[in-house]
Structure 1
Amino acid sequence: MTGVHLQSFPAAHPPEIPDLPPLGLPWALAEARTFHLQGIGRLARAERAAAKQRAEQDASRYLAAETARLQAMRQQLAAEAQQWWQALVSNDEATVCEAVNTAFSDNPAAGCAVGVDGSVLSVVMRQQDLDAMPTQTPGLTPSGRPTLKNLTKRDKTLWWLTSMGSNIVATLKEGFATAPGITAIDLAVLTRLPDTQRLGFVAYGRWTRAAIESTPWREPEDALRFLDIGQEVACSVTTTASGNLSSTIKPLDTTRLPGLQDLLDHAQDEPDSGQASLADLDISLGTNTNTPPGDGAPVTDPYRIKPFAQWKQQAPAGPPPMTPMPPAPPTAPIALIPGQTLVLPEDAWQGLRLAISFSGADADLTLFLTADDGRVATDEDFIFYNQPSGAAGAARLVGKQPEGRHTVERATIHLSALPERVQRVVIAINMDVDTGLTCGSLTHAALHMDCTTGAAWMFQPPADPSIRAMVVAELYRHTIDGGPAWKLRAVGQGWADSLDGLARAHGVDVA
């Protein structure tokens, strides 16, 4: 509560546009074959040969079209990023307030940027109420035994004041770090007053970037320096003539600051009124922190690949696309048990769809493209949420979303398009590190796999409370009767230290 000002905040920098995912002809050919071979039986040799010929003709066009489209998308993103950065550094009000409020959204004392005047940013901060502070503090008895001591009113007030100062300084530091063109911040602090239980302003002032950045912040007590390094600082907690802190907190006079008075005059102080309430400022700003301001939709992958079927329908040149036979109806999936293996049909090599579904907690799907020794050749063969594509598109994460009572994350793997160095595909899940939860928190977890022929497989990994990352299944090359084959093995074993341990075990450098 009194040390948040000791943390540092990285300075904003121009947005870095991610590189395009590499795409290769083997991937495009596998996509095209999956499309053209749909509904053609294994014994229809002539039809299958013709379908493969059509796929070869389409693959290079599809690859060129997708590469050009994604390059154009990257150029567009780069232009938008440059435009946003210029608006931020030139102190465009909407841009600065949106960026700062996004940065503030996870703060213990919520801050809200409300305006920009030149290079001065205005912020309102909601401080914890004094009545919500603990009334006791750890201590020792005369004999040295641990105990709890009741706080005096002045000690409680000092604790609250230090907490408020710490939050003020942290808010100022984060605001300056987020908005590089801002040179000063006008900040006012709201809290619920102990005597009236109504909101009131208990501190305000102006703090410059130079004052905040030149002041050393080393100890919790340094938080009280906010009173001395600001301009026209006013605070409800004052020092008496005897040098003690005042034991009462009264609202500040805001008549000389019309904006603050107007804010209070229009505030709704009843949380259940159904209207926006300043009393709920700290709650409302802390919700949906993973969603961009003003947008209820999740962030999507800007480099999402256009499916071959969609591209084929829109392709401007060439003969009109042939409508493929409808895919075979799905059959009941083959349920696997831990350690069980089976040979995948050849049709599954062109396009294998997999989905991991679960509820009860959050987890992420991860793929490793490894050699026979179970280790990746390069970090590019490690496919996870920050790098959703590998092997020139042959293995790709395609998104995670809620479906009914479950969360489902999907991926596609074109086994036929994998380079020869990839002898094994490891399918794994890892728990969200920040929650501290284990795989035992996952309920109804299941891996589903299928291909266009309708063949399907399913495996329910164990809900192991001792691990945070798990290899659910493996796909690996094999030889049968002298010919190549791919096999599927159900695993369900893992590591206690989540993604780091999982990655290290498969040769990824996580230093």
Structure 2
Amino acid sequence: MTGEANQWWQSLIANDEETVCEVVNYAFADNPAAGCAVGVDGSVLSVVMRHQDIDSLPDQTPGVTSSGRPTLKTLSKRDRTLWWLTSMGSNIIATLKEGFATAPGITAIDLAVLTRLPDTQRLGFVAYGRWTRQVVEAGPWRETGDALRFLDIGQDVACSVTTTASGNLSSTIKPLDTSRLPGLQSLLDHAQDDAGSGDMTLADLDGGLRTHVPAAHHAQQDPYRIRPFAEWKSQSAPAQPPAPTAPGPSPATALVPGQTLTLPEEAWQGLLIAFTFAGADADLTLFLTDSESRVTGDEDFVFYNQPSAAQGAARLLGKQVEGQHTVERAAVHLAALPAHIQRLTIAINMDVDTGLTCGSLTHASLYFDCASGAAWTFQPPSDPDIRAMVIAELYRHTTNGQPTWKLRAVGQGWADGLDGLARAHGVHVE
């Protein structure tokens, strides 16, 4: 059984999706605000949290009259909204801390919050963003007001409660626009929020988690349980040979410099990019440009200090060491890009201060895959004369009168590194 426990632990720290989601959901099962782990991408965990409806809060609070007698005071709409927002922030931070504590290999959590909206009584998303382990574990969480810092320490955080021009919190709760976040929009589009429908619903998320505790954590399956000798002996028969496994995904199609291909429609809804390398450090960068390969603003430049653009339609997912190589990943939702974005450039750059060039990189390769299982890979040239390189481009095209997206392998660069690369794409560099 020790071997099984070790195998389980190795799967957990390696961020095996099934293992991480099972363990995290077990930990979430007794939370006041139900959270549900729904996926793992590299070292990033995705979580949906069901927060209490604001209509469930009391509209009065204890107080005293001018003569000192106890009374109940009616809460203003703004005070009630602040109470609800503070409660949501507390539950977000608690959910993040518990997720990081339970899954040691996770470095960031993408979290989205659902609630029933007071105007329509329909479920809607009211907050989402990405929070890293580093910022959550570094923050002091002692005072009530600390709960509202979830708005400031995350990446791409959006919240339906905003600050007005006068500095006050808005008193209305409206659903966030999720049209550019396909996963969230799809969840809403297929959600049943009628608790009486008899089906598992988002409205019943809390109860569903509590009544479906993973069986792997039941006492009779505890990997550390001491077993009687007779039980051990009865289960020590020679193991049956493993059943044949289904064939894996098709190998990636290797591209050569200058080669182009038309992407399948599945790639428009989600294209995952991974740049693998060794020998030196490099950073992945994305440029969202017009037909002239120029950005319309600096916000269309995606790099380590600005990891997403187009409301999350193009975003970096982080860098991590895997064995003897480093892998930096990105995700692109082509169908969600604004119409003025005609081209998306995928580039790398070396740190100019180190004096190293792209010739210092070893085992460098760019890998693409999508939901259909189709995958492509390209090995950029190891050029000792450049410090930044465009590895590939995604661009709009028309084929037989129909709009398409195409992929082109490039492998060309700039000797002056990131500054030259950025200027060439219209980014203002000081």
Q: TM-score, normalised by structure 2?
A: 0.52
Shift in alpha-carbon separation, 1:184–1:297, aligned structure 2, 3 A: closer
Q: Which residue of 2 aligns with 1:255?
A: 179
State the 1:218 CA deviation.
1.1
In the TM superposition, 1:292-441 aligns within 5 A as 293-294=214-215, 299=220, 302-305=225-228
What whole-Å deviation, never above 9, does each CA across 1:338-391 have from its counterpart, x for those lacking one?
xxxxxxxxxxxxxxxxxxxxxxxxxxxxxxxxxxxxxxxxxxxxxxxxxxxxxx
Are residues 1:157 and 2:78 paired? Answer: no
Are residues 1:264 and 2:185 paired? Answer: no
State the 1:300 CA deviation.
5.9
Amino acid at match of 1:233: V
Root-mean-square deviation over aligned CA pairs = 2.3
CA distance in structure 1 between the partners assigned to 2:221 and 2:176 by the alignment? 46
Whether the aligned pair in 1 keeps the contact of 2:47 and 2:112 (CA below 8 Å) is: yes
In the TM superposition, 1:183-332 aligns within 5 A as 183-287=107-211, 291=213, 293-294=214-215, 299=220, 302-305=225-228
Q: Which residue of 1 aligns with 2:21?
A: 97
Whether the aligned pair in 2 keeps the contact of 1:235 and 1:252 (CA below 8 Å) is: yes
Divergent runs of 4+, >2 A: 294-308
Shift in alpha-carbon separation, 1:117–1:307, aligned structure 2, 3 A: closer
What whole-Å deviation, never above 9, does each CA across 1:72-121 have from its counterpart, x for those lacking one?
xxxxx111111111111111101111110011000000000000000000
Amino acid at match of 1:131: D
What whole-Å deviation, never above 9, does each CA across 1:11-57 have from its counterpart, x for those lacking one?
xxxxxxxxxxxxxxxxxxxxxxxxxxxxxxxxxxxxxxxxxxxxxxx
CA distance in structure 1 between the partners assigned to 2:218 and 2:87 by the alignment? 35
CA distance in structure 1 between the partners assigned to 2:120 and 2:182 by the alignment? 22
Amino acid at match of 1:229: I
Amino acid at match of 1:137: T
Whether the aligned pair in 2 keeps the contact of 1:97 and 1:115 (CA below 8 Å) is: yes
CA distance in structure 1 between the partners assigned to 2:217 and 2:109 by the alignment? 29
Q: Which residue of 2 aligns with 1:319?
A: none
Are residues 1:125 and 2:46 paired? Answer: no
State the 1:299 CA deviation.
2.9
Q: Which residue of 2 aligns with 1:405?
A: none
Whether the aligned pair in 1 keeps the contact of 2:200 and 2:208 (CA below 8 Å) is: no
State the 1:298 CA deviation.
5.4
Are residues 1:107 and 2:31 paired? Answer: yes
Amino acid at match of 1:305: P
Shift in alpha-carbon separation, 1:99–1:307, aligned structure 2, 3 A: closer
Q: Which residue of 2 aligns with 1:369?
A: none
State the 1:214 CA deviation.
1.0
Shift in alpha-carbon separation, 1:131–1:303, aligned structure 2, 3 A: same
CA distance in structure 2 between the partners assigned to 1:304 and 1:211 by the alignment? 43
CA distance in structure 2 between the partners assigned to 1:305 and 1:201 by the alignment? 51
**Farther off after superposition, 275-284 or 114-123:** 275-284
Amino acid at match of 1:299: Q
CA distance in structure 2 between the partners assigned to 1:82 and 1:238 by the alignment? 47
State the 1:303 CA deviation.
3.0
CA distance in structure 1 between the partners assigned to 2:215 and 2:34 by the alignment? 18
Shift in alpha-carbon separation, 1:146–1:163, aligned structure 2, 3 A: same
1:148 to 66, 72, 77: 72
CA distance in structure 2 between the partners assigned to 1:296 and 1:180 by the alignment? 18
Amino acid at match of 1:134: P
Bigger relative contact order, structure 1 or 2 (CA pairs below 8 A, ≥6 apart): 1
Shift in alpha-carbon separation, 1:311–1:246, aligned structure 2, 3 A: closer
Whether the aligned pair in 2 keeps the contact of 1:107 and 1:286 (CA below 8 Å) is: no
State the 1:215 CA deviation.
1.0
1:168 to 56, 71, 92: 92
State the 1:304 CA deviation.
4.3
Shift in alpha-carbon separation, 1:174–1:295, aligned structure 2, 3 A: closer
Whether the aligned pair in 2 keeps the contact of 1:120 and 1:182 (CA below 8 Å) is: yes
Amino acid at match of 1:192: R
CA distance in structure 2 between the partners assigned to 1:208 and 1:96 by the alignment? 17
State the 1:274 CA deviation.
1.5
Q: What SS class does the counterpart of residue 285 from structure 1 fall into?
A: helix
Shift in alpha-carbon separation, 1:236–1:82, aligned structure 2, 3 A: same
Q: Which residue of 1 aligns with 2:5?
A: 81
Shift in alpha-carbon separation, 1:300–1:94, aligned structure 2, 3 A: closer
State the 1:294 CA deviation.
4.3
Amino acid at match of 2:206: D
Q: What SS class does the counterpart of residue 299 from structure 1 fall into?
A: helix
The structure with more strand, counted as a fraction of residues: 2
CA distance in structure 1 between the partners assigned to 2:221 and 2:49 by the alignment? 32
CA distance in structure 2 between the partners assigned to 1:297 and 1:222 by the alignment? 36
Shift in alpha-carbon separation, 1:186–1:150, aligned structure 2, 3 A: same
Shift in alpha-carbon separation, 1:168–1:91, aligned structure 2, 3 A: same
Q: TM-score, normalised by structure 1?
A: 0.44
Q: What SS class does the counterpart of residue 86 from structure 1 fall into?
A: helix
What whole-Å deviation, never above 9, does each CA across 1:213-270 have from its counterpart, x for those lacking one?
1111110110000000000000000011111111110000001100000000110121
Whether the aligned pair in 2 keeps the contact of 1:126 and 1:190 (CA below 8 Å) is: yes
Larger radius of gyration, structure 1 or 2?
A: 1
CA distance in structure 2 between the partners assigned to 1:142 and 1:205 by the alignment? 44
Q: What SS class does the counterpart of residue 286 from structure 1 fall into?
A: helix
Amino acid at match of 1:255: S
CA distance in structure 1 between the partners assigned to 2:174 and 2:83 by the alignment? 17
5+ residue gaps, structure 2, are: 235-430
Shift in alpha-carbon separation, 1:235–1:306, aligned structure 2, 3 A: same
